[in-house]
Amino acid sequence: MHFRHLALPVASLAALAYGYANPETCSGECVIYDPTLIRRSSDGTYFRFSTGNEISYCTASSLLGPWTSVGSVLPDGSSIDLDGNTDLWAPDVHYIDDLYYVYYAVSTFGSQDSAIGLATSATMDLGSWTDHGSVGIQSSSAKIYNAIDPSLIEVDGTYYMQFGSFWDDIYQVKMNSAATAASGSSYNIAYYPDGTHPEEGSYMYAYGDYYYLFYSWGICCSYDTDLPASGQEYHIKVCRSTSATGDFVDADGTACTDGGGTIVLESHGEVYGPGGQGVYDDPTYGTILYYAYTNTSIGYADDEKQFGWNTIDWSTGWPVV
């Protein structure tokens, strides 16, 4: 592992002055990337899934931990016939029709040869997962999007999948009634027109009269070898719409398909490059934003990223950490 104790970039100091809250304390197994959360209703146990180890997962009795490693969802990898099918990414967990669904991405870093798969379990116990392979969302260099970072939302009985990374950024597709396969054509819902189009890791959440599209913007990884220019590191943005299928705008009214996006959380204090986020309604703490981040007092390597979460204040109509 490589450690780099650097002076904080100007953007981080500005964020600190803005007043972002520090992440809540994490205990136990706190190293993570691309987290997703669910709570098993039968016993109240929290399950946290993440990138790596063929989708690794942990359990805890509280969001504060201590988090204990369970193992891998698919220890033999995915049945999807693509490079990277034993290095699964960016899980997204849901409870649908008495089954726990974990969507995952198959790809290799920087490639468009990507697909989204699905595994299910009745209990989430180790060894109980069934791999169903591809859900029909797949990309290649012939397409303008990348099929990674799945995120499902249910709207009045209809399921939609958000996905995508860089290239043409974030897309959406309608799913079938069981949420096991795409049933329509994909369409763009967020796009940053300049540079490398650095938007990915979307997560849609309904609150009040709006659907909020959270996403990660910037460079996610390898901070220990190549620190991005100030402000180009991961941070979390949001747009909103009264429809789940489009017309998302930021707090200034700029369309999310034209580079719009209001910052929710960015580098501050010892927190650097937060992203890979999701939103969860917790019975104890209320609505929370969870994510992975680099703790500058620990180290900048990808395998040192930490699990963080904060409660969300909605009083302005926009999520505030």
Residues forming the active site: 34, 200
Could you give the count of Cα atoms lying within 13 Å of 27 in the half-sphere of its Cβ? 6
d(CA 258, CA 193) in angstroms, rounded, equals: 6
Q: Which two tokens stand for residue 103?
A: 């969507």
Which position has the token pair 């008495």?
Answer: 98
DSSP string, 10-52: HHHHHHHHHTPPPPPP--BS-B-SS-EEEE-TTT--EEEEESS
Q: Which two tokens stand for residue 243?
A: 């429809």
Asked if 54 and 119 count as a contact pair (C-beta separation under 8 A), the reply is: no
Buried b (16+ CB within 10 A) or exposed e, 81-96: ebebbebbbbbbbbee
d(CA 104, CA 73) in angstroms, rounded, equals: 10
